Amino acid sequence: MKTIFITGASSGIGRETTKYFAAQGWRVIATMRNLKKAGDLETLPNVTIMPLDVTDTEQIRQTCRKALAEYDIDVLLNNAGYGIMAPFERIPESEIRKLFETDVFGTMFVTQEFIPHFKARRSGAILTTTSLAAIIGLPRDGAYGAAKRAQQGMVESLYYELKPFGVAVKAMIPGGTKTNFQTPLNDLTGYEKIAANQRKYLLAGNAEFPEATEAAKIVFEAATDGKDQINYPTDSVCKKLYEQYQSMGLESFKIYFSGLLYEVTT
């Protein structure tokens, strides 16, 4: 039985991915900061719940090493994280540091625990949920986008480090997803209209954002398809926006996107 270790499994993409992999006959080690949020995950076959606060380096060591001692893990999914959205100058230092502790340092330290295991077995996959904000700079995403680009940089570097060992390293890239994704700081001050236009862009003509169930299927695809591929947009809407950005390039896109945000023709 194949096994996946998931961080941030209590909600959103992490929760739906836990359910989807379990339904495909995988063993899932679903980790979360608050075990009370496990809910029905505890009743699913082949799902093991473990505590993991990715800002607690000692707990990272304990939980990861316990899981690795008990199971031959095939896939790591770094999924724990949250967002903040605000004009850059209005983000308190404490909020920036807290964001990086979770999204960047937590991801890095969990990944470090798994690399020797995957190198020794000369197979496996390290997947990390980054964001479209890691690819496209968005207003009020100065801190969050920087954190996600740090994750993206780690993914791309590790791709080359671990390729000789047969270990896949991939980025799962959500855009707007219909989840209870946490944004404890969401400051619109001075950017109310721009934020509305940005949301319209991210919806790409849809009434709502894609469900996290769609992302779970893409995570499973990335874990099992055997492709030599780094970036996986996790839904059809994000894929459309990602491919548009890649085809246009930064300099052309900034003109196009500025026109959308500020409702000007160029």
* Interacting residues of 101 by C-beta distance below 8 A, sequence separation 6+: 55
Instruction: Collapse the DSSP code of 108 into the 3-class scheme (helix H, G, I; strand E, B; otherwise coil) and give the result.
Output: helix
Catalytic, out of 20, 71, 82, 144: 144
Helix (H) or strand (E) holding 127: strand 125-129
For residues 121 and 59, give the distance between their C-alpha atoms in angstroms, rounded to a whole number: 24
Q: What share of the chain is helix, strand, coil (3-state, %, to 5)?
A: 55, 15, 30
Contact 191, 139 (CB under 8 A): yes
Pairing of strands 185-186, 84-85: parallel
Please choose, from the candidates 115, 121, 129, the residue with its C-alpha nearest in 3D space to the C-alpha of residue 158: 115
DSSP per position, 57-86: HHHHHHHHHHHHHH----EEEE-----EES
Q: What type of residue is 248? A: M
The runs of H, that is alpha helices, within 170-211 are: 192-203
Active site residue 20: no
Instruction: Compute the distance between CA of residue 225 and CA of residue 75 in angstroms, rounded to an integer.
Output: 13
Catalytic residues: 144
